[in-house]
Amino acid sequence: MTSIPHDTPGEPDPLRTLGLESLRRRTSMKWRTYPADVLPLWVAEMDVPLAGAVTRALTDALALGDTGYPAGTGYAEALAAFAAKRWNWDGIAVERAAIVPDVMLGVVEMIRLVTGPGDPVIVNPPVYPPFYQFVTHMDRRVVEAPLGPGLRLDLDLLTDTFRTATAGGGRAAFLLCSPHNPSGTVHTAAELAAVAEAAERYGVRVVADEIHAPLAAPGVAFVPYLSVPGAERGLSLMSASKGWNLAGLKAALALAGPEAAADLARLPEEVSHGPSHLGVIAHTAALNDGTGWLDALLAGLAANRRLLTALLAEHLPAVRACPAEATFLAWLDCRALGLGDDPAQTFLDRGRVALSSGLPFGTGGAGHARLNLATSPEILTEAVRRMAAAVGAVNGTGRDLSVPVRHPGS
């Protein structure tokens, strides 16, 4: 019988564990959307084995037949302990936390609590495409306040947008992406405090998607939105999903600031039936016992960011990558390549590399692509080599690897 590794400090980089042959046996979206000759560096799945703590918890649950409905406060308690140790924040109160099916469905439920049909929901493009999709589908109105220089929050523009959105006494919500997807920006305490002050001044309710919080780079301090002064009426969604590659094990937590407890209390009871019990078990184990694995991952991601910078400088010097402070994503400005609004299509058709198109990320997405660097250095190196070959094929200076394929819209 194969032994399950324990998570300990100094364990090996999980990004260097799995080869391409093993990865292609996976049946998830990342590996089954495109033909086998395409390198998939698009959707936010990582090419890693599960943390040992997660595997053990799931194996034990399956051995017991523990596959019913989720119950208890263990997930919230685990997140509270993780936040206290990792972010020096002891503000998570179990009585102001609720399990939800996943972060985006939790976002939907939080926005329903604080807005009504037709109300504006403010976002900061370029931003995670489902923000547009879910907000529109729930009959709210998306209002853009694009990021400013350096892909940081434009606080003046955001404040003006808050004022306009609530003119005449209307309700509005601000859907904050923190850390930001796709740029990897980690908002500072000062920036978040300014957001909270402006939101309070104009009566805007802040809902923070903080799914990438565990993935701040070494030396970068993630600041929970609910930890800053003035955020007492805020709502947050957190999860172990992205940090430990648990997207298929659905679970997340909705958190309320002290003055938003009454809002969270109005969450329909049936929402808590949506998370997977195995998801809750896996996320709880990751937060409690998977931090050694996480630290090894963060070191590997930092190395891959450095590798990507070097590879682009060598093979695609016209491409500018936003210096991400968190996430396992890289936002690539490809406008100087002359590939039009959707360079990801060229990389796919001519280079057999699947990236996420920048277009669905809203204003500022044209001419850009998002690359998932949570893979092995070998795959990352080959992907950039293929991307360079694709550009050379378009310009008549390189080999064309193309077999035309259309990519999904998001």
CATH number reported for the structural domain that contains residue 245 in this entry: 3.40.640.10
Cα 294 off chain centre by? 15
* Residue where one domain finishes, among candidates 265, 289, 313: 289
Q: What is the pLDDT of residue 406?
A: 47
pLDDT digits (tens, 9 = 90+) for 78-99: 999 999 999 999 999 999 999 9
Give yes or no: residues 112 and 148 share one domain. yes
Give yes or no: residues 188 and 316 share one domain. no
The answer to whether residue 207 is domain-embedded is yes
Assess whether pLDDT exceeds 80 at residue 149: yes
Structure tokens at 223: 């600041």
Q: What is the pLDDT of residue 408?
A: 46
Q: What is the mean pLDDT of residues 38-49?
A: 98
The answer to whether residue 330 is domain-embedded is yes
* Residue where one domain finishes, among candidates 255, 289, 323: 289
Q: Are 33 and 235 in contact (CB under 8 A)?
A: no
Q: What is the pTM of this model?
A: 0.94
CA distance 202 to 181: 26
As for how many domains the chain has, the answer is 2
Mean pLDDT of the chain: 94
Residue 396 pLDDT class (50, 70, 90 cuts) = confident
Q: Are 211 and 16 in contact (CB under 8 A)?
A: no
Assess whether pLDDT exceeds 70 at residue 7: no
Give yes or no: residues 106 and 190 share one domain. yes
A 10 A CB-CB count for 397 gives: 10
| Segments forming the whole domain that contains residue 107 | 56-289
Q: What is the mean pLDDT of residues 42-60?
A: 98
Assess whether pLDDT exceeds 90 at residue 398: no
Q: What is the pLDDT of residue 11?
A: 86
Cα→Cα distances 112→116, 118, 183, 324, Å:
6, 11, 27, 32
Q: What is the pLDDT of residue 400?
A: 53
Structure tokens at 377: 């250095």
Q: What is the pLDDT of residue 80?
A: 98
The answer to whether residue 98 is domain-embedded is yes
Reported in sequence order, the residue ranges of 3-157 that DSSP labels E, i.e. its strands, are 39-40, 97-100, 120-123, 141-144
Residue 404 pLDDT class (50, 70, 90 cuts) = very low
Give yes or no: residues 341 and 374 share one domain. yes
Cis upstream peptide for 146 (omega within 30°): no
DSSP SS3 for 369: strand
Q: What is the mean pLDDT of residues 383-400?
A: 86
Cα→Cα distances 155→147, 187, 212, 308, 384, Å:
9, 11, 22, 30, 35
Give yes or no: residues 28 and 157 share one domain. no
CATH number for the domain spanning 335: value is 3.90.1150.10
Give yes or no: residues 240 and 333 share one domain. no
Nearest partner of 247 among 36, 21, 43, 13, judged by Cα: 43
Q: What is the pLDDT of residue 126?
A: 98
pLDDT digits (tens, 9 = 90+) for 230-286: 999 999 999 999 999 999 999 999 999 999 999 999 999 999 999 999 999 999 999
Q: CA angle at residue 91 from 85 to 93, to 5 degrees?
A: 110
The answer to whether residue 242 is domain-embedded is yes
Give yes or no: residues 203 and 344 share one domain. no
Torsion of CA 195, 175, 226, 70, to 10 degrees: 180
Q: What is the pLDDT of residue 309?
A: 98
Give yes or no: residues 205 and 321 share one domain. no
The answer to whether residue 2 is domain-embedded is no
Q: What is the pLDDT of residue 292?
A: 97
pLDDT digits (tens, 9 = 90+) for 95-141: 999 999 999 999 999 999 999 999 999 999 999 999 999 999 999 99
* Residue where one domain finishes, among candidates 264, 289, 314: 289
Q: What is the pLDDT of residue 395?
A: 81
Q: Are 79 and 96 in contact (CB under 8 A)?
A: no
Residue 409 pLDDT class (50, 70, 90 cuts) = very low
Radius of gyration in angstroms for the set of CA atoms belonging to the chain, rounded to a whole number: 21
pLDDT digits (tens, 9 = 90+) for 166-211: 998 899 999 999 999 999 999 999 999 999 999 999 999 999 999 9
The answer to whether residue 6 is domain-embedded is no
Contacts of 23 (CB under 8 A, 6+ apart): 31, 47
Higher pLDDT residue, 203 or 395? 203
Give yes or no: residues 197 and 248 share one domain. yes
Counting every residue written for the chain, the total comes to 410
Cα 396 off chain centre by? 37
Residue 390 — left, alpha, or beta (φ > 0 → left; ψ -120 to 50 → alpha)?
A: alpha
Burial letters 289-302, b for 16+ CB under 10 A, else e: bbbbbbbbbbbbbe
> Element (H or E) spanning 321, and its range?
strand 320-321
Give yes or no: residues 268 and 221 share one domain. yes
The answer to whether residue 237 is domain-embedded is yes
Assess whether pLDDT exceeds 90 at residue 224: yes
Pairing of strands 353-354, 172-177: unpaired
The answer to whether residue 278 is domain-embedded is yes
Residue 410 pLDDT class (50, 70, 90 cuts) = very low
Give yes or no: residues 270 and 351 share one domain. no
Give yes or no: residues 206 and 263 share one domain. yes
